[in-house]
Amino acid sequence: MDKLRIQGGQRLHGEVPISGAKNAALPELCATLLTDEPVTLRNVPRLRDVATMRRLLEHMGVQVQTHGERGGLTLHAGAALEPLAPYELVKTMRASVLVLGPLLARLGRARVSLPGGCAIGSRPVDQHIKGLQAMGAQIAIEHGYMVAQLAPGQSRLRGARIATDMITVTGTENFLMAATLAEGETVLENAAQEPEVTDLAELLIAMGAQIEGHGSSRIRIQGVERLHGAEHAVVADRIEAGTFLCAVAACGGAVHLRHARGEHLEALIEKLREAGVSVQASVDGLQVQSPGAALLRAQSFRTTEYPGFPTDMQAQFMALNAVAQGSSSVTETIFENRFMHVHELQRLGAKIRIDGRLALIEGLGGSGAHLSGATVMATDLRASASLVIAGLVAEGETVVDRIYHLDRGYDQMELKLRALGAQIERIA
C-alpha cells in the first residue's frame, strides 16, 4: 500500500498547474449517458475516482477513448447500454449515484447499487430518490440496489417542482441531468450553487439542454426530446487550488497557481488574507505569498454550502490553524463525522479539542512549540491533504499511510509539491 514520506521544513516556490475538478468531471462523465452521440471532455484530471467512473461507464457499454496529454476523453454511449451499476464498482465512490438520473432519463430504467458507507458521515440518498419519484420514477430498494423504472404507461420522466429538504450537490446534479430529457418543465428549488453544478449545466446546454438559473438556488429546465454530442473543458478544481493555497500559507514562500479561479474561492481567500497571506489574481490564476504559518493569525470559520466556506477545505485549513498564532474554532455543519484528521494531527503535536461539531484549536505559532513528524493514517480524501500540509511544516519525517484516499481526488499531488521544493516522495 503506497505511503508518502515527507521531510518537513521547506518553503514552497514556483508555479503549479491546477487540474480539472474531480467534482465536475464525475457528473460530466455521467452526463454522456444522456446522448447516443460522442461527447468529448477536455481537462479531465488523472484521478482514481475518474478511473473508477470510466470502468463503471465501460461496464454499462459506453465506449471511452483517451486522447492527447491534456486529459482528453471521448465517450460514446451508443444504443447497446446495460443500465446496471454493480456494488463492486460503486462501493468506493459516492459519485456513482450520478448515473441514476441520466439512465432513467435516457432508458427509463436503472439498477444502481447504493453507494458504500463513507467515513465522513452516513450520506443517505433519500433526497435523490424522492426527487426522481416526483418526476414519475418508481424506485424500490432491493438487496442493496436502487431498482428504478418509469411508472406504467409513462415513456419519459415528467417535469416536476423539486424542493429538497437540504441543499444537496449531487442531488441537484442528478435532477438537472434527469430533467434535460423529461417531458415539460422542472423547477429545482433550494438548488446547490457550487461551481461544479454550473459547469455541468454548461456542458448540458452545449449538448442541447434548455436550462436557466444555474448558479442560483432556483434552476429551471425545459425538457427536450434528445441531446446531441458536444465538447467541453472541465472547470479548474477549486479544492485542489485551495489545498495548495493552504500548503503555501503554512510552509511560507511564493507560488503561482496556474488556472486557479479566485472567484470560486472567495470565502477561503478572505480567511487567508485575514490570516496575513497575500493572494492576488494573475492573468491565468492566483499568486500566493506567505511568511509561513508561525507569523500568521489563526482564523475561526464555519463550513456552509457555496458560496460559504467549503467543507472540502475544512481539514486543510485546520492544519494551518494548528501551526498559526492564536486560538480558533472550526464548526463543521455539512457532515456529522468530518473531524477524523484531528486525532492524527494530535499525533503530530497539534493542540485540538473536539466538542460535537466544534473543534477548538490552540495554534502553536509563536509559542516555541512545533509539530513533530510521525507516522499518521489517512482516513478520507481531505483528511489526507490536511496531514500532508501538517507533514510539510512538521520537524523531521512524517509518513502518511493509506494514501489511496488522496489518489481518489488529487492529480499527482506529491509531484506537484516536489516541483515547488517540498521534500516528499511516494514509497511502497
Ligand X SMILES: C=C(OP(=O)(O)O)C(=O)O
Name the site residues for ligand X (rule: CB under 6 A). 23, 94-95, 118, 120, 312, 381-382, 409
Kindly give the residue spans of alpha helices, DSSP state H, lying in 32-149.
48-59, 87-90, 100-107, 126-134
For position 170 contacting ligand UD1 by CB under 6 A, the verdict is yes
Q: What is the number of other CB atoms lying within 10 angstroms of the CB of residue 280? A: 12
For position 15 contacting ligand UD1 by CB under 6 A, the verdict is no
Instruction: Give whichever of 126 and 263 is closer to ligand UD1, judged by the CB atom.
Output: 126
Alpha-carbon Rg for the chain, nearest whole angstrom, is 22
Instruction: Give whichever of 170 and 186 is closer to ligand X, judged by the CB atom.
Output: 170
Residue 287, SS3 per DSSP: strand
Residue whose Cβ sits closest to ligand X: 312
Of residues 171, 285, 363, 391, which one binds ligand UD1 by CB under 6 A?
A: 171
Instruction: Give whichever of 312 and 332 is closer to ligand X, judged by the CB atom.
Output: 312
Which residues inside 102-161 make contact with ligand UD1, applying CB under 6 A? 121, 123-128
Residue 169, SS3 per DSSP: helix
CB of 45 to ligand X, least distance (A): 12
Instruction: Give whichever of 23 and 52 is closer to ligand UD1, judged by the CB atom.
Output: 23
CB of 316 to ligand UD1, least distance (A): 13
Work out the burial of residue 22: count CB atoms within 10 Å of its CB; fewer than 13 is exposed, 13-18 middle, 19 or more buried.
buried
What does 125 bind: ligand X, ligand UD1, none (CB cut-off 5 to 8 Å by kind)? Answer: ligand UD1
The closest of 133, 21, 30, 24 to 85, measured between CA atoms, is 30
What does 382 bind: ligand X, ligand UD1, none (CB cut-off 5 to 8 Å by kind)? Answer: ligand X
Binding residues for phosphoenolpyruvate: 22-23
Give the three cell numbers for residue 34: 444522456
Of residues 166, 266, 367, 415, which one binds ligand UD1 by CB under 6 A?
A: 166
Tell me how far apart the alpha carbons of residues 232 and 252 are, in angstroms, rounded to a whole number. 36
Burial 39-65, CB ≥16 within 10 A → b, else e: bbbbbbbebbbbebbbebbeebbbebe
Binding residues for UDP-N-acetyl-alpha-D-glucosamine: 94, 123-127, 312, 334
Q: Are 389 and 364 in contact (CB under 8 A)?
A: no
For position 95 contacting ligand UD1 by CB under 6 A, the verdict is yes
SS (H, E, C) 381-394: HHHHHHHHHHHHHC
What does 262 bind: ligand X, ligand UD1, none (CB cut-off 5 to 8 Å by kind)? Answer: none
What does 108 bind: ligand UD1, ligand X, none (CB cut-off 5 to 8 Å by kind)? Answer: none
For position 23 contacting ligand UD1 by CB under 6 A, the verdict is yes
Kindly give the residue spans of alpha helices, DSSP state H, lying in 192-300.
195-206, 238-251, 266-275
The closest of 193, 162, 159, 149 to 179, measured between CA atoms, is 159
Assess whether 118 carries a catalytic annotation.
yes
Tell me how far apart the alpha carbons of residues 367 and 19 are, in angstroms, rounded to a whole number. 37
What does 409 bind: ligand UD1, ligand X, none (CB cut-off 5 to 8 Å by kind)? Answer: ligand X
In the numeric block, the cell 485575514 is attached to 274
Stretch of 166-174, 175-183, 249-257, 318-326 lying at the interface with ligand UD1 (CB under 6 A): 166-174
Instruction: Give whichever of 49 and 363 is closer to ligand UD1, judged by the CB atom.
Output: 49
Instruction: Give whichever of 242 and 391 is closer to ligand X, judged by the CB atom.
Output: 242
What does 166 bind: ligand UD1, ligand X, none (CB cut-off 5 to 8 Å by kind)? Answer: ligand UD1
CA 91 and chain centroid, separation: 17
Give the three cell numbers for residue 146: 436502487
Tell me how far apart the alpha carbons of residues 182 and 43 are, in angstroms, rounded to a whole number. 29
Residue 126 DSSP label? H
What does 99 bind: ligand UD1, ligand X, none (CB cut-off 5 to 8 Å by kind)? Answer: none
Residue from 30, 118, 246, 251 carrying the catalytic annotation? 118
# residues near ligand UD1 by CB under 6 A: 20
The closest of 57, 54, 40, 46 to 22, measured between CA atoms, is 46
CB of 122 to ligand UD1, least distance (A): 6
Kindly give the residue spans of alpha helices, DSSP state H, lying in 189-313.
195-206, 238-251, 266-275
Residue 96 DSSP label? G
Instruction: Give whichever of 94 and 416 is closer to ligand X, judged by the CB atom.
Output: 94
Of residues 6, 26, 236, 269, which one binds ligand UD1 by CB under 6 A?
A: 26
CB of 116 to ligand UD1, least distance (A): 12
Query: Which residues have a catalytic role annotated?
Result: 118
Q: Which residues bind ligand UD1 (CB under 6 A)?
A: 23, 26, 94-95, 121, 123-128, 166, 168-171, 311-312, 334-335
